[in-house]
Structure formats: C-alpha cells, structure tokens
Amino acid sequence: MLTPEQTAIISPQIHALHEASVENVRGAFTRDERRWKAIETLTSNRRVAVLRSGAKIEAYMALHADSTDRSGSWVIHEIVSVSAQGSRALLGFLSRQKDAARIKSRMNGAQFKELGLDRIHGVNVTCTGGVMLRIIDLDAVLSAISQTSNCALRVRSSKTGLSIWVDGAANSIDGDIGALTQMITGYASASALVQQNRIRATSSQALEIADMLFPPTDIFLGFADRF
C-alpha cells in the first residue's frame, strides 16, 4: 500500500499504465485529473497498491473499504496490469491483509476469470456485474468510425430493418437493429451473425470490411468512468 507521498511520486507511471490499458478499448475515454484525484486521495478507507519491478510499476490496484460491511471488506475499483500475473499478485497481497475479511470487485465475472483471479486459493471474492456498452445514437457511432477508419459508413432503412452501407450501397450489411448493434459493439462478429442468419452481407467485400471494423470484444466495462 502506498503513502500519499509515494503516490504523488509515481502517479505519472500509474496514469500511463491506465492509458495503455484502455487504448483501443471500446467505450474508453481519457480520465481527467479530477477523477484521478478522487482515486488517489488516500484516506483511511481508500487505498492504492502497486506491484513494482525495480523502478517500474507493472500493476496497480485502486480500492476502498466497504463502510456498509461491519465484518470488514475491500471493494476493488480497478486492477490494471501489464499481465494477468500482476493482477493475481495484487489480489493475493490484498487477501493477506488483516483487515480484509472479504474482497469485492466491480469487474464482471468474465473479466475476473480471464485474469485467473477466480483460481486463487483461500481468497473470498464477490464479483458484481459490469457495465454493458450500449448504443444510443447509431448515426453518431458510424460517423465516428468512418472518421477514424477512412471508410464511409451510412445507415439506411431497408425491407429487413436497417442497412449499413460500407463504401456505397453496393456493399451493405442488412439486418434488424438488435443484430446490427451486436455486431457494432463487438458482441458477435459479422461473419458469425451471417452464419446465424441474423444479418445479410450483399457482397464478400462488405463482410470482410465489417469483420475488420467490428471485431468481437468484451462488451462489459469494468467500472463506470470507462464509458
């Protein structure tokens, strides 16, 4: 666990590690200094722990004490690491603290298992649900993707629901709003949805571009300020 003085010294490394972890993650935004101040302000119920390799920070964990749990438990706000081993090391360290009867995490179950944190012997951990990425303005999403990918995307009404034009009407992905939303958010790839007869690609080029632009990914976000 860090003292306030130690946290101030290594804050740039912690910030850089966080920025690297959310790079190319859907729904991720740059965290401003006010949010960092709230996380790094150390009080009796808020802590930051780090894993070092020499002078380099390989992982950090932000957490706070659960004031509603009289038996004593810590809620992990986030664990950011260059490897799953770093995350497990921090959780193991936390489990050995005398004031940690239970550990709660805001990561969803899939993320928790991916890191292997559910396999640590003797650690009593409860996972709460993660925040799911949702689309509220399809036109705005496609416009933003068009600007970053140099690929013109347009949405139009069709007989089957909606069509996403990929570089012109000759190349389009057709389907209902539910299936297209799953494709755009990364819940399922365009190819998988075509095989399930959920969407239709008017050309092989349209399907290839859709697979490239909308790769499958985790649609759950670990904590609220990542969207």
Q: What is the CATH number of the domain that holds 204?
A: 3.30.1050
Residues 115-137: pLDDT tens digits? Answer: 565 565 555 555 555 566 677 78
143 and 174 share one domain: yes
20 and 105 share one domain: yes
In a domain, 221, yes or no: no
Structural domain including 186 reads 138-213
54 and 154 share one domain: no
* Mean pLDDT of the 87-116 span: 66
152 and 182 share one domain: yes
Neighbours of 227 (CB within 10 A): 13
110 and 17 share one domain: yes
Neighbours of 83 (CB within 10 A): 12
- Has residue 207 got a pLDDT over 80? yes
Q: Which of 103, 129, 155 is the last residue of a domain?
A: 129
Q: Which of 64, 99, 129 is the last residue of a domain?
A: 129
pLDDT category of residue 88 using cuts at 50, 70 and 90: confident
Which structure tokens are listed for 32? 């401003």
In a domain, 104, yes or no: yes
- Has residue 111 got a pLDDT over 70? no
pTM of the model: 0.53
